[in-house]
Amino acid sequence: MFEKILIANRGEIACRVIKSARKMGIKTVAIYSDADKQALHVQMADEAVHIGPPPANQSYIVIDKVMEAIRATGAQAVHPGYGFLSENSKFAEALATEGVAFVGPPVGAIEKMGDKITSKKIAKEAGVSTVPGHMGLIEDADEAVKISQEIGYPVMLKASAGGGGKGMRIAWNDEEAREGFQSSKNEAANSFGDDRIFIEKFVTQPRHIEIHCFATPMAMALPGRARVLDPASSAESCRRARALSWMRPP
């Protein structure tokens, strides 16, 4: 059991982690930018470390600053929450180098699944159905428009890194594709430090089916809770999860 963990996030998710840690008798460390000095998660934590100005790309996603906070407080583990550095394999590697536990998947899984371009390629290889689209890197707005035309409008422009709905734009025509590419690229860079964008067909009437998979160090993957239970989707989720290596390095 860890004696102290650092929550590399803010707001509601940080508060929930702090509450759970408190019930388990684990001390917590919060990090905060200038904008979050008086935030609830800062007040709730046992310790709090200032990491920079309001923009996330100058505070919450700067790995060196988070690592400094870990060293200064002696935190033994890090809970990343969601967004920010939660799907950043370089951050997970930095923690491993320092001997700090990462409350999340091993580095290899993050590298493959935290990057949407890579994860969709893995899904396809595993026989899992995916939304049609272009999985290569897109150099500029002109290429984005050309690809969008080939896919057929409407399309969705998405950041390859991160999550939480950031770096996503719907385009119904060439002008929106051009504008969406640049705005998605900028938002992704500011939110995740990674401005890579890909394009896929926009599904106008989607169903959100989310399957939670549990994996063990023996590379087993079993379906857990589902927001919309669908046997076929559960099977596909398992195939996708089993395409990864869940063994942690010694």
Residue range 167-184: mean pLDDT, rounded? 97
Domain boundaries, the chain: 4-112, 115-201
Token pair recorded at residue 166: 């950031």
Instruction: Give the rounded distance of the alpha carbon of 125 from its chain centre.
Output: 22
Alpha helices in the chain (DSSP H): 11-23, 40-44, 63-73, 89-98, 107-113, 116-125, 141-151, 174-192, 231-242
pLDDT (tens digit per residue) in 53-108:
999 999 999 999 999 999 999 999 999 998 899 989 999 999 999 999 999 888 88
CATH no. for 115-201: 3.30.1490.20
Confidence of residue 166 (pLDDT cuts 50, 70, 90): confident
Topology agreement, domain 4-112 and domain 115-201: no
Q: What share of the chain is helix, strand, coil (3-state, %, to 5)?
A: 40, 20, 40
By CB neighbour count within 10 A (0-12 exposed, 13-18 middle, 19+ buried), where does 182 fall? Answer: middle
Q: How far apart are CA 6 and CA 237, in angstroms?
A: 31
Query: By percentage, how much of the chain surpasses pLDDT 70?
Result: 85
Question: What is the predicted pLDDT for the residue at 212?
Answer: 72
Q: In angstroms, rounded to a whole number, what is the distance separating the alpha carbons of residues 87 and 94?
A: 13
Query: Higher-confidence residue: 175 or 209?
Result: 175
* Domain 4-112: CATH class, spelled out: alpha beta
